[in-house]
Structure 1
């Protein structure tokens, strides 16, 4: 889980006004906003409609240290640029802009969206194509160095410990060595994972996927992690996902069927459920959802213990 350093909040509307004036752009309104970034629709006489992406904070706090917002801006810019070369639907990058105070923001192609749901099969096909892209040495802000299995097991342990403070009756987590063995037997090659697939990050028109945005949570890891997260995200109606349709589209494009209830999948599902429970306990307090996601974490812990 990542939290923002509230001591360095950014007035994104003021930044947007300064950037548009400086670059001679036309302000066309708010395009979207999330926990980490605010996106403005701007117009250029030479480049047409663009998306101006501005971080809400100068740095974010991850379990293994602080992450500079500039690293997230560069990450989005590089990933979108590489995936655009592969013909994947993204908001293609245009430029990185350094403000007078050193804040880094980005410009990308503006992708209109009418808010209609994107079919799960299209989402699954996108993920299958994404996971076919050969990895390259991109610096990912939230990926700890070293072995991925060690990283995931350590993260699950930390999240379990944090949630136990809110729910002391949470079932015990299996031994770390056992969990590392589970990850060691996950034989798929590491691929770029989006890890925040949900309605808010899926732009489309006419019910067709036009672009997948917000690559802040991206990691290099096993594709099963992505699909397990989609399955858990789909349990929240606001995310607008049909897990069965996504898996159907994935299998139709990739040709392989991954077991989303294997021990490794359960560990990845648990990682997601713990994260969501903690979000609704503290980052975005919602008592009802915190209760439901804590209950979900208990259920997955019992299933994982039984599977091992």
Structure 2
């Protein structure tokens, strides 16, 4: 799962845009008679559809809308490499008891989009039980990360990647909103983040309801490994906290009642800045939402003030 080199000089204007028809064209060899195709969702980079048939179970397709990813959060990532990573980590999840949909196939033609085909798990609106989620995340963090080279890590140490991206994303936010004082440099962040390179685990890094396939409060599948990293679990727990998911029941399931204490120290605050800056950029630039952007920018400002206070005390 080694990442392919980033082609930073490729312009968005030269890229081919792919649609559902392009993805369906890759399924011709399967000779499927499709009754309906319904969009389940997707993010900025990928589309997800469920295909329904007469007399057989539905399947889910995931494919990129274009090859190279360029936005204010990420520059020059290869969507094919990310989709191949999703395939590999879903297979790995099954092997080690992490809930995941079954992988039906991975199509990688010479032309056109790569397509990941997985089983369709019927879900409901009942939220995943936080205690169960905490136990599953703990199990994930106990697995070896040996041999995994996440695309989002860009071939670097986690501390280097996180520091660079946090600094770059704060600079994007500063184009839209005034941030307090002098922003921490990537060198300052990398210095404080160095401990996340110790005892690395495989981190999902997008633990939110949109990526939980669940029924009756039970997690049946953890999907979308695009943001995966190999780092100390504190980085993931900081993201869960910024997503609002670090509840007492989650902490109990995870097996620790002292998670928030670590997140108030310089290391924890730097980890939280990584997520806070990303979310602010999403709602300012990638999926603009004025009210959410206001909330996320305020959160980023609050964390910057907290980091400045504890750094001055130290």
* Pairwise TM-score range, normalised by the shorter structure: 0.7 to 0.9
Q: Does 1:164 align with 2:168?
A: no
State the alpha-carbon separation in 1 of the partners of residues 154 and 247 from structure 2: 28
Unpaired segments ≥5 residues, structure 1: 235-240
Task: Name the structure 1 match of 2:226.
Answer: 216
Contact 1:164-1:170 at 8 Å conserved across structures: no
**Residues 25 and 43, structure 1, Cα contact 8 Å, conserved in 2:** no
Deviations 1:150-181 (A, max 9, x none): 22222221122221122234332345544333
Unaligned runs of 5+ in 2: 1-10
How far residue 226 of structure 1 moved from its aligned partner, in angstroms, is 0.7
Q: Cα offset for 1:92?
A: 2.7
Matched, 1:82 2:92: yes
- Is the Cα–Cα contact under 8 Å of residues 20 and 26 in structure 1 kept in the other structure? no
Give yes or no for the alignment of 1:41 onto 2:44.
no
Measure, in 2, the Cα distance between the counterparts of 1:18 and 1:175.
Answer: 47
TM-score normalised by L of structure 1 = 0.86
Partner of residue 306, structure 1: 309
User: 1:53 — aligned with what?
Assistant: 62
Structure 2 residue corresponding to 1:294, chosen from 285, 297, 302? 297
Q: Give the structure 2 partner of residue 127 of structure 1.
A: 137
User: Distance between the aligned counterparts of 1:185 and 1:139, measured in 2?
Assistant: 19
How far has the Cα of 1:219 moved from its partner? 1.0
Instruction: Pick which of 51-60 and 81-90 moved more.
Output: 51-60
Distance 1:59 1:176 in 2: 25
Q: Which residue of 2 aligns with 1:30?
A: 38
Query: Which residue is equivalent to 2:163?
Result: 153
Aligned to 2:249: 245
RMSD of aligned alpha carbons:
2.7
Partners of 1:25 and 1:305 lie apart in 2 by: 59
1:41-91 Cα distance to aligned partner (Å, 9 max, x none): 336899944322121222212777512221111010011111110111012
Deviations 1:167-200 (A, max 9, x none): 2343323455443332234575111111111111
Q: Residue by residue, what CA displacement relative to the aligned partner does 1:230-263 show, whole Å, maximum 9, x if unpaired? A: 11112xxxxxx463332222126xx985723222
Mapped partners of 2:132, 2:198: distance in 1 = 23
Larger displacement relative to structure 2 (26-35 or 210-219):
26-35
Assess, with a 3 A threshold, how the Cα gap between structure 1 residues 185 and 22 changes in structure 2: closer, same or farther.
closer
